[in-house]
Amino acid sequence: MPAESPSPTHGFPGRLFVFEGLDGSGKSTQAALLGKWLQSQGYRVFFTEWNSSELTAATIRRGKKKNLLTPTTFSLLHATDFADRFERKILPPLRAGYVVVCDRYAYTAFVRDAARGCDPAWVRNIYSFAPRPDLVFYFRVPVSVTLKRKIASRLKINYYEAGMDLGLSDDLHESYARFQGRLKQEYDRISRTDDFTVIDSGRSVEAIQAALRGHVGPILQNFPTGEALLHDG
């Protein structure tokens, strides 16, 4: 079996839809919109986000603040966080027959850890417990667009988000562009190996949402509805 071959599908009664892409790609907005639409159609929906586990949150924040995280420790801490999130918040609703909408999944780790120099096969082995989703939407967007959106939002670009720990550039914006470029290159690569559904983020919100609904429709054919929306917030 190839070192980076995709994991087996989950095999549980529920459905797992994952949203991936660079920050500023629009994936979070679309994930929330799709979740609300599925709920309005009567489906039992559970929504979860990256870094939503409380187990390692304080440790990761402290490590970032003091610049103590090497690429390997960064990877292992996020893997611990995701494992806790998967066991507590993703697996139970999947077993119970819910539609689980994930804003980022293990693929985020595959991309970020590889961009920081970790061996991709090693990273995948750490996340071997995470099954393949029913659909992975990859929101493809130029790095220049994400940088413009980030600046326009007036949200501070943090040290690790810009890849400043890698010594790519002394300039925050330049380092951000280079690091995000690495992420995009890795996303483009695994979008082919892992059979992502690629979404052009340059289209209107309405057009993208319509496309997403079209993609999930066949997978939810004859899928049971009922109960109200849950949220892990």
Query: Could you read off the pLDDT of 93-141 as tens digits, one per residue?
Result: 999 999 999 999 999 999 999 999 999 999 999 999 999 999 999 999 9
Q: Which of 16-30, 75-89, 142-156, 175-189 has the lowest mean pLDDT?
A: 142-156
**pLDDT exceeds cutoff 90 at 7:** no
Walk across the sheet containing 15-21 and list its strands. 197-200, 135-140, 15-21, 99-103, 45-49, 230-231
Averaged pLDDT, 35-40: 96
Q: What confidence category does residue 229 fall into, taking pLDDT thresholds of 50, 70 and 90?
A: very low
Averaged pLDDT, 178-200: 96
DSSP 56: S
pLDDT averaged over every residue in the chain? 88
With vertex at residue 183, the alpha carbon angle to CA 11 and CA 123, rounded to the nearest 5 degrees, is: 50
Say if pTM beats, i.e. exceeds, 0.85. yes
Averaged pLDDT, 21-48: 95
The length of the chain is 233
Strands (E), the chain: 15-21, 45-49, 99-103, 135-140, 197-200, 230-231
In a 3-state reduction of DSSP, which class is residue 204? Answer: coil
Taking CA atoms, 103 is separated from 81, 106, 118, 175, in Å, by 15, 11, 23, 25
- For position 5, what pLDDT does the model report? 56
Q: Which of 71, 32, 75, 52 is nearest to 229 (CA)?
A: 32
- For position 6, what pLDDT does the model report? 60
Q: For the chain, give every domain's residue range.
A: 15-231
Q: Which of 207, 208, 220 is nearest to 135 (CA)?
A: 220
**pLDDT exceeds cutoff 80 at 75:** yes
Instruction: Please state which CATH class domain 15-231 belongs to.
Output: alpha beta
**pLDDT exceeds cutoff 90 at 57:** no
**Are 219 and 134 a contacting pair, CB within 8 Å?**
yes
Q: What confidence category does residue 159 fall into, taking pLDDT thresholds of 50, 70 and 90?
A: confident
**pLDDT exceeds cutoff 80 at 154:** no
